[in-house]
Amino acid sequence: QVQLVQSGAEVKKPGASVKVSCKASGYTFTSYGISWVRQAPGQGLEWMGWISAYNGNTNYAQKLQGRVTMTTDTSTSTAYMELRSLRSDDTAVYYCARGPNCSGGSCYPIPIDYWGQGTLVTVSS
Amino acid sequence: QSVLTQPPSASGTPGQRVTISCSGSSSNIGSNTVNWYQQLPGTAPKLLIYSNNQRPSGVPDRFSGSKSGTSASLAISGLQSEDEADYYCAAWDDSLKGVFGGGTKLTVL
């Protein structure tokens, strides 16, 4: 069965960086992208971007360009999301999720279907 | 401000039918399919409806979706207490960027 297991909660100071991991199992890792979605306390879902596990191509949300980097390690079927220059409004639960479909050199808009359990990142001085 | 527009709240009594709307634009809902997610308190979102009106295995047929132009709707019939949750619509846009609605909190009275 498809599973996405994320790393544990983090507490960071403003200006620091955080790197969250997401280990995938139960499917062919390189056939899909991994999307990252965050949810601030009491707020809705915000799409952050995705990375193709096939070739490392990325597509980031405009508002996070320059602060976020998504990477993958195909040898361990693990995706990573690093966010830099953290601010208090980056406090949120960060989710990884499977999608889009990225078999071959292109990615296709399939539904984001399986989600990780979420990682709480708290930014506080 | 979310790219897709949903009502912040909805409610109904057990057994009733409720609908939740989702409005977008030609660059997202107008040109791509809509997916719906259910989020129970303290849990990750769960795919409820995909490709406008398809239900993943295990989702009761009380849940249905539709799309017309740049808008979509989620309908829940035979409302049950366990349906109390937050519901989000989502789509890809023409640049394959994800867009979400702001979410609708469903209360079962």
Full domain range(s) for residue B48: 9-108
Scan for tokens 């989710």, then name that residue: A95
**pLDDT at residue number A104:** 78
**Which element (helix H / strand E) includes A23?**
strand A18-25
How far out from the chain centre does Cα B104 lie? 8
**Does residue B45 sit within a domain?**
yes
Q: Closest partner residue to A111 among B44, B51, B88, by Cβ?
A: B51
Candidate from A56-60, A87-91, A108-112, B78-82 with smallest mean pLDDT: A108-112
Please, which residues bridge with residue B11 across strands? B107
In eight-state DSSP terms, residue B101 is B
**Does residue B17 sit within a domain?**
yes
**Does residue B63 sit within a domain?**
yes
**C-alpha to C-alpha distance for B84 and B12, rounded to whole angstroms:** 10
Average pLDDT over residues B19-35: 97
**Could you tell me the pLDDT band of residue A105, with boundaries at 50, 70 and 90?**
confident
Which residues of A touch chain B, with CB atoms under 8 Å apart? 35, 37, 44-47, 49-50, 59, 61, 95, 100, 107, 109, 111-118
From the CB of residue A76, how many other CB atoms can be counted at a distance below 10 Å?
Answer: 11
How far out from the chain centre does Cα A22 lie? 7
The B residues from 57 to 86 touching A (CB cutoff 8 Å) are: none
H and E: helices and strands count for chain A = 0, 10
At B79, phi and psi to the nearest 5? -50, 135
In eight-state DSSP terms, residue B7 is -
In eight-state DSSP terms, residue B4 is B
**Residue B56, domain CATH:** 2.60.40.10
Average pLDDT over residues A7-18: 98
**Could you tell me the pLDDT band of residue B1, with boundaries at 50, 70 and 90?**
confident
**Which element (helix H / strand E) includes B66?**
strand B63-68
- The answer to whether the Cβ–Cβ distance between A111 and B33 falls below 8 Å is yes
**Does residue B84 sit within a domain?**
yes
Evaluate if residue A22 carries a pLDDT over 90.
Answer: yes
Structure tokens at A59: 């597509």
Q: What are the chain B neighbours of A35 within 8 Å (beta carbons)?
A: 98
**Does residue B2 sit within a domain?**
no
**Does residue B4 sit within a domain?**
no
**C-alpha to C-alpha distance for A7 and A29, rounded to whole angstroms:** 18
Residue from A17, A19, A26 nearest A114 by CA: A26
**C-alpha to C-alpha distance for B96 and B99, rounded to whole angstroms:** 9
**Does residue B24 sit within a domain?**
yes
3-state secondary structure of B42: coil
Residue from A110, A96, A52, A25 nearest B44 by CA: A96
From the CB of residue B82, how many other CB atoms can be counted at a distance below 10 Å?
Answer: 8
Q: Quote the minimal CA–CA distance from B101 to chain A in Å.
A: 8
Q: Closest partner residue to A47 among B35, B51, B97, by Cβ?
A: B97
Structure tokens at A121: 């990142």
Residue from B50, B51, B28 nearest B37 by CA: B50
Evaluate if residue B84 carries a pLDDT over 90.
Answer: yes
Report how many domains make up chain B: 1
Scan for tokens 């544990």, then name that residue: A8
Residue of B nearest to A37 (CA): B98
Residue of A nearest to B50 (CA): A111
pLDDT tens by residue, A49-66: 999 999 999 999 999 999
